[in-house]
Amino acid sequence: MVEGSVYVLPQPQPPCQYPISCTVCQYLTSDRSPTADKTRINLIDVYRLWDMVTTVPEANHRTMLWRMVEPFIASKGYTMDPSALPDGDPLVVINGSVRWNHAHTLSALSRPAISNKSGRAVFIKSLNTCHPSAQEFPIWQSMCSPAAMQDRRNHTAPMRRVLWYTPDFTPHGYVSVPQDTRAFVVTKKYASMMVTINGIGVIVVPPDVCSCFDLIQQFFEGLEFMHSSGITHGDLGQHNIVLSRTSSGELRYLFIDFELSSSHPVPFDEPVRHHAFRRITNAGPEHSMVTPYDPFPNDIYAAGLFVETLLRANGYTYRKEWQKIPRMAEQVKWMREEDPRRRPTAAQVHSEICVLQQTLPQDVMRIPIRSSTEKDALVGRVPSFVDAVASLH
């Protein structure tokens, strides 16, 4: 075992018996799985499928994986936040209905922790670095190079530290494979711009038009820089933009999750062609796992969906406050053109947003924006923008 790559391994458990099928248990108990015992789930097998444990039905395995690697995280000077290792069953029964325990629906790939040295809150993300399609680590690392980080247009969440993890499973009868190595990336604490309340995903809405423009401007400034570096994100949206605070107190919006990113040499001597390796819901109509397509305008389509969501403020139509700025709806329509060749570039959108920021009257910029969820009893209380900022302290 590589020094420091320690783990805690519980006894094999029965497969999940939940109403919603767990894909991990489905696979490990099927004939497709190389496991000999189809009646028990060994956590080592789940570890090797870590990147599959990403949806709610696999919530039972998420905390188990982080408990498994907790000794390693501790050996590197970090204490997992109590919220990262919840107790209790992932399922709860309320009035006869089965619901997921919110505490267990934290991301499978990222959990909060505390730096023992500084006492500051951080996030730790688990990354696959060996799979042929695993481009997230090298792309993220390139966007966090010293030269890239010096460019103020770069809105990539910085890597603070990389903890390389190579567990030795041979004492348990497993042959070591390269895929057992993972990178645990430490980042500073940030606030998500999307939260899930009672199973409903909602965006954290900035308090006024000016603040919304600040978010949109930083979003496209970062996307322009990313594209100029030959990088496409592949999964843009409110779920992958977060709020951070600099040492000087400035609020900065950052991109996270480069799992579906792709890298292309610049300048582009030939038309860019790309194959997706996973379907997503926020992609343009050209998005395909079979037919090559240009991923850059596909990013723009997803960005248009993000801006539209922001303008709707969790509602079904644009908030009336934006009726005084019809140019924003026009921008969304432009970004969501069916033909990718007719969509704008990130630089064009960024330029347009900057012009609007500089020319709109101050009384318009000060118009407050209220989320459509504020009066929705089904959703419940959604954290406000003020809450998000306060969480960064």
pLDDT digit string, tens, across residues 73-96: 999 999 999 888 877 666 666 676
Say if residue 109 is in the same domain as residue 219. no
Say if residue 90 is in the same domain as residue 150. yes
To the nearest whole number, what is the mean pLDDT of the chain? 87
Q: Which distant-in-sequence residues (6+ apart) come within 8 Å of 44 by Cβ? A: 9, 169, 172, 174
Question: Is 17 a domain residue?
Answer: no
Pick the last residue of a domain from 188, 208, 224.
188
Q: Residue 175 half-sphere exposure, CB side, CA atoms within 13 Å?
A: 3
pTM to 2 decimal places: 0.90
Say if residue 163 is in the same domain as residue 234. no
Overall domain count for the chain? 2
What pLDDT is recorded for position 255? 97
Say if residue 210 is in the same domain as residue 75. no
Say if residue 99 is in the same domain as residue 212. no
Say if residue 135 is in the same domain as residue 246. no
Q: What is the rounded CA–CA span in Å between residue 243 and residue 164?
A: 27
Contact 132, 179 (CB under 8 A): no
Say if residue 249 is in the same domain as residue 177. no
Question: Is 169 a domain residue?
Answer: yes
From residue 343, how far is each of 54, 260, 281, 284 by CA, in Å? Answer: 32, 21, 19, 11
- pLDDT class of 19 with cuts at 50, 70, 90: low
Question: Is 278 a domain residue?
Answer: yes
Say if residue 242 is in the same domain as residue 108. no
Q: Is the pLDDT of residue 124 over 70?
A: yes
Pick the last residue of a domain from 188, 216, 251.
188
What pLDDT is recorded for position 293? 86
Say if residue 181 is in the same domain as residue 229. no
Say if residue 278 is in the same domain as residue 297. yes
Pick the last residue of a domain from 159, 188, 217.
188
Q: Is the pLDDT of residue 164 over 80?
A: yes
Say if residue 120 is in the same domain as residue 102. yes
Question: Is 9 a domain residue?
Answer: no
- CATH at residue 249: 1.10.510.10
Question: Is 204 a domain residue?
Answer: yes
Say if residue 278 is in the same domain as residue 358. yes
What pLDDT is recorded for position 378? 47
What pLDDT is recorded for position 377? 45
- pLDDT class of 2 with cuts at 50, 70, 90: very low
Q: Kindly state the average pLDDT of the residues 263-285.
A: 75
- Domain of residue 128 covers 23-188
From residue 152, how far is each of 2, 37, 317, 323 by CA, in Å? Answer: 38, 53, 34, 32
Q: Kindly state the average pLDDT of the residues 293-302.
A: 93
Could you read off the pLDDT of 190-227 as tens digits, one per residue? 999 988 766 677 889 999 999 999 999 999 999 999 99
